[in-house]
Amino acid sequence: DAGITQSPRHKVTETGTPVTLRCHQTENHRYMYWYRQDPGHGLRLIHYSYGVKDTDKGEVSDGYSVSRSKTEDFLLTLESATSSQTSVYFCASDTGTQETQYFGPGTRLLVL
């Protein structure tokens, strides 16, 4: 299995505070992704990266920003958290050749 870790694994925060989630992969994968998982919606793509400093928006990008300064790290930032951003966040990575995407264990975020 690809080595993908996420931190923190659980976080409780208050509305209006900034939050940063970290994804770290050790497979030298070029592509990395952030998804959110909500009941009835499956996983929806927030942002993705196709290389260092190269990122683009996904389906549900409003209220989120990302950064990728190194191949192995992909950060997701909620600039000002809202209750609608309470969710489980998954990071994934792959080589970009439409083979398997490898997923991290997820971060459970609760915004009060």
Residues that bind other proteins (CB under 8 A): 1, 4, 31, 33, 40-45, 48, 58, 90, 92, 94, 96-98, 100-106
CB of 5 to other proteins, least distance (A): 10
Choice between 57 and 86, CB closer to other proteins? 57
Total Cβ atoms within 10 A of residue 66: 22
Q: Which is nearer to other proteins, 48 or 81 (CB)?
A: 48
Residue 27 beta carbon to other proteins: minimum distance, rounded to whole angstroms: 14
Residue closer to other proteins (CB basis): 12 or 80: 12
**Hey, is 41 helix, strand or coil?**
coil
- DSSP annotation of 83: G
Strand partners, 13: 111
CA-nearest of 19, 28, 47 to 102 is 28
